[in-house]
A and B are shown apart, each in its own frame.
Chain A
Amino acid sequence: MEDIKAYIESGILELYVLGDLTPEEKLQVQDMASKHPEIKAELGEIERSLEAYALENAVEPSAHLRDKVLNSLLTNFADDSKFPTKPFNERDDDGYAVAEYDNVRALPTSNTNSFYKYAFAASLAALIISLGALYNTNSKLNESQGQIALLQSRNQSFANQVNYLENDITVAHDASFKIIELQGTKKTPEAKLTMAWSPVKKKVMINLPDMKLAQNDKDHQYQLWAIVDGKPVDLGVFDAKSDTTSNGMIEMRSVANAVMFAVTLEKRGGVPSPTMDQMVVAAPIKG
């Protein structure tokens, strides 16, 4: 008991309450207080008397401060409890706690908060405008690409047409060309194909726009034959399509002397020798 009395009278408890002890000394006082109720009671007395002394010396803050402080606490009311607080080394603020003491730095004023709020709002607005502009630009880009594709397709179409007309003109102006009309066989009396042949230049052209052949399916193609020295010679394959616009005059394989031209319907890619019962049009060459 004497030891405890001496401990109390040493003045260390007053310094403890005033936050004027080293961390080790604080732990020691806490340890003593938990073991000895007299020390704990003495600490309580010291605290209460200093608290009363502070109350006597109280200074009333200005009236507007209450709202300011309450608002600054309520502003981040919802978030604070979720934030992990980081320990940092500085003066020991609480006068008691030692190693486990952590803290959060106070924000200076609410002005900073509103600055970040406005900054955030401005950033958000800028983002939305940017996204709008991006979407707009992208739409225009797609539109332009569509137009380019259309123009390319038209260009191709014109090129085809020019090619066809060139061939047409060549055929029309070249006296060596003979225009041959292949007539339908008994099996296909309606069928018809016009071709141009120049024995001198060994050129064979067929005119797709005015041909009248049943449209072939994807497994079959028409094959043009020339009969040379009693034997059929393969001059190549072609398709008969319902839309004739995309087709012009196409050049087939060359042949110099032929006594007959004929077309058979064969499997796609052609065959080495014609299937005679699949002959759709034919024409003998006179003279």
Chain B
Amino acid sequence: MTKKHKISLSEEELVLALRNRDKIAIEALYDMYSSSLLGVIARIVVDTAIAEDVLQETFIKIWNSFQSYNTEKGRLFTWMVNIARNLAIDKVRSKDFKNQNKNQELEINVTFIDEQRNTVYKPELLGIRDLVEKLKPEQKAILELVYFKGYTHVEVSEELDVPLGTVKTRLRMAIIQLRTYFN
């Protein structure tokens, strides 16, 4: 990847290029979002090759159904990450996948993944450990389950055996922590 010049556009430019179905849009889309999307997919589908297959399916789906994306309803990444997460969950729950006996315990955590994979090194994000420390364990657990595992808040409530209201509150608090951190 490092040999190639990565293309980067503003979100507005990218959305416009995707609407016009410019070839440049495909490259920009991949360069800007492939690692973020794979970060989510890889936490659900642990097997590298299968996760990359899902990433490919995700891009195909994004490309083919782009006309259903509406900027009024939210940011481009939010739309894409939901496609990626759902495809990954479909994959893990599919018969093929279960037969391959490759699904692992949902408890596999970020640290495990990071050991397995080449996590992107970004100098500007050196403070990631600070963030992890700022998030309380229960906040981190909820973010992990909902954002990276695709659990619904109802499922989280059952999984962690806490009331629905608590789940919602913790989730909100976790995201507020993220906001203060990134701001």
Pairwise interchain contact B118-A70, C-beta atoms closer than 8 A? no
Known pairs A60-B35, A60-B120, A94-B82; A49 contacts B178 (CB<8 A): yes
Pairwise interchain contact B153-A103, C-beta atoms closer than 8 A? no
Pairwise interchain contact A104-B81, C-beta atoms closer than 8 A? no
B26 within 8 A of A: yes
Pairwise interchain contact B118-A80, C-beta atoms closer than 8 A? no
Pairwise interchain contact B85-A102, C-beta atoms closer than 8 A? no
How many A-B pairs have beta carbons closer than 8 Å: the answer is 203
Quick one: which of B89, B117, B171 contacts A14, CB cutoff 8 A? B171
Pairwise interchain contact B79-A95, C-beta atoms closer than 8 A? yes
Pairwise interchain contact A51-B63, C-beta atoms closer than 8 A? no
Pairwise interchain contact A49-B179, C-beta atoms closer than 8 A? yes
B182 surroundings in chain A (CB, below 8 A): 48-49, 52-53
A146 within 8 A of B: no
Chain A's nearest CB lies how many Å from the CB of B115? 12
Pairwise interchain contact A66-B65, C-beta atoms closer than 8 A? no
- Considering only residues 66-87 of chain B, those with a C-beta below 8 Å from chain A are 67-70, 72-75, 77-79, 81-83, 85-87
Pairwise interchain contact B57-A60, C-beta atoms closer than 8 A? no
Known pairs A68-B56, A94-B68; A54 contacts B81 (CB<8 A): yes
Interface with B: A38-46, A224-232, A264-272, which one? A38-46
Is chain B's binding surface mostly helix, strand, loop or mixed? helix
* Cβ contacts B144-174/A at 8 Å (1 or 0 each): 0011100011000000000000001101100
On chain B, the number of residues with a Cβ less than 8 Å from chain A's Cβ atoms is: 73
Select from chain A the residue with minimum beta-carbon distance to B93.
A91
Known pairs A66-B34, A70-B27; A101 contacts B78 (CB<8 A): no
B77 surroundings in chain A (CB, below 8 A): 47, 51, 54
Which B positions have Cβ atoms within 8 angstroms of A? 1, 4, 21, 23, 26-27, 30-31, 34-40, 42-43, 48, 52-53, 55-57, 59-61, 63-65, 67-70, 72-75, 77-79, 81-83, 85-87, 89-90, 110, 113, 117-120, 122, 125, 128, 131, 143, 146-148, 152-153, 168-169, 171-172, 175, 178-179, 181-182
**Nearest 3 CB-CB pairings of A with B:** A11-B168, A95-B82, A58-B35
